């Protein structure tokens, strides 16, 4: 099968979308399919044998830490040259606008996937007035697709209620071989705790942005001497966060990748996830695979992944001080160890193959192609 993927973000960028994409593309390539990726031009032109076609990219005034590709007619040229069986536009917004329009004009079967709750983010930037317009825009783009995907049942319900058509849940996955408790590394722990490895290490991994609500963690450090905090990642809010946490037991590492990231997860004690705006939170799965108990906001997507009191603890984001109280429960080492074991046990058999196989089935259904039948005809 020939599969064209038009995505707003790809390597060398690192986030949950890129992780999901690269894992599924890798599986598709190993299964014998032809994949072409169209993404912002960040200097990566090949991924494990799949060609990456770059679209000129630059930073935007309101987001200087990342480069984006604007709508560009070259997307249509790339698709026409490739003649795919199906086009998958990932998180259509800017570059994805061109992907959606080109696929429709060229009459290619179209899948779109929704990964980011942009409308909800506006509340954190004093732009709530534009939420209606944002929902209208994303609904218009997604409803051009033959099939829409999202990453949790909660988001599926919300999109359906907002009149997005034909929405399916793209099942979750995680690399359980890379993320594993055996990756514990004492030197990494020494670094993340700033030389205080005997304290309990709280870990945050992700984009540093206002909507992630990372500031909440300072109160934990102010009220308990037992914890240190490591913040792994980067983003437009980093400078403000460094000022906010100044004088506390907090280490900012910037981005960490691959084995280093896996060691960071395995060398921490508790994973903290204060955000209430996520559509899934892949880092939750990576933490669980690494044998970390979690503290997360009680929201639809987190409740689908964390069993409160068994694999982690959920706090009420509307209850003053509940986040701090919930984290401080992990001063109890027996509780921490029990939840850590359960977290790994729940996730250890997940992997990425299930999500990739499901994606291929949806591609085939959307394209109206029975690949196995085609293979049989070729052999005969």
Nearest C-alpha neighbor of 166 from the set 304, 1, 366? 366
State the pLDDT at residue 62: 67
Cα 316 to Cα 294: distance, rounded to the nearest angstrom: 14
Q: Return the beta strands (E) in the chain as ranges.
A: 2-7, 34-40, 46-47, 50-55, 57-60, 63-69, 86-90, 110-113, 147-150, 167-169, 200-205, 227-232, 250-254, 270-273, 294-297, 312-315
User: Burial level of 105, CB count in 10 A (0-12/13-18/19+)?
Assistant: exposed
Q: How confident is the model at residue 65 (pLDDT cuts 50, 70, 90)?
A: confident
Domains along the chain with CATH numbers:
2-173+352-379 (3.40.50.2000), 181-347 (3.40.50.2000)
Token pair 């037992």 in the structure block, residue: 226
- The pTM is what? 0.91
Asked whether the CA dihedral 290, 264, 170, 106 is positive or negative, the reply is negative
Contact criterion met (CB below 8 Å) for 104 and 142: no
pLDDT tens-digit readout, 291-349 = 999 999 998 888 899 999 999 999 999 999 999 999 999 999 999 999 999 999 999 98
pLDDT tens-digit readout, 139-159 = 999 999 999 999 999 999 999
């Amino acid at each position: 099968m020939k599969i064209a993927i038009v995505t707003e973000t790809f390597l060398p960028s690192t986030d949950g979308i890129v992780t999901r994409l690269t894992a599924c593309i890798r599986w598709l390539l190993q299964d014998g399919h032809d994949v072409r990726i169209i993404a912002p031009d960040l200097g990566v032109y090949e991924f494990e044998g799949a060609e990456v076609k770059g679209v000129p990219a630059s930073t935007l005034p309101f987001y200087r830490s990342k480069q984006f590709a604007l709508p560009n007619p070259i997307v249509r040229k790339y698709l026409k040259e490739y003649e795919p069986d199906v086009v998958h536009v990932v998180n259509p917004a800017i570059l994805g606008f061109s992907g959606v329009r080109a696929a429709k004009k060229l009459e290619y079967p179209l899948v779109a996937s929704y990964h980011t709750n942009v409308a909800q983010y506006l509340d954190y930037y004093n732009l709530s007035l534009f939420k209606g317009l944002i929902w209208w825009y994303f609904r218009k783009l997604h409803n051009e697709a033959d099939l829409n995907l999202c990453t949790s049942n909660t988001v599926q319900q919300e999109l359906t209620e907002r009149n997005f058509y034909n929405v399916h849940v793209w099942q979750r996955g995680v690399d359980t071989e890379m993320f594993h408790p055996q990756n514990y590394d004492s030197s990494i722990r020494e670094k993340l705790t700033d030389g205080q490895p005997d304290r309990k290490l709280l870990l945050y991994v992700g984009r540093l942005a206002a909507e992630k609500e990372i500031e909440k963690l300072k109160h934990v450090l102010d009220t308990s001497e037992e914890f240190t905090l490591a913040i792994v990642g980067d983003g437009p809010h980093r400078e403000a966060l460094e000022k906010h946490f100044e004088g506390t037991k907090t280490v900012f590492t910037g981005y960490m990748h691959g084995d280093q990231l896996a060691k960071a997860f395995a060398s921490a004690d508790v994973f903290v996830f204060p955000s209430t705006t996520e559509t899934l939170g892949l880092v939750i799965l990576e933490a669980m695979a690494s044998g970390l108990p979690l503290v997360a906001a009680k929201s639809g997507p987190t409740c689908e992944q964390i069993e409160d009191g068994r694999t982690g603890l959920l706090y009420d984001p509307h209850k003053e001080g509940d986040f701090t109280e919930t984290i401080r429960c992990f001063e109890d080492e027996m509780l921490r160890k029990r939840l850590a074991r359960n977290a790994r046990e729940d996730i250890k058999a997940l992997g990425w193959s299930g999500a990739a196989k499901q994606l291929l089935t949806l591609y085939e259904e959307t394209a109206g192609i029975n690949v196995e039948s085609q293979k049989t005809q070729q052999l005969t």
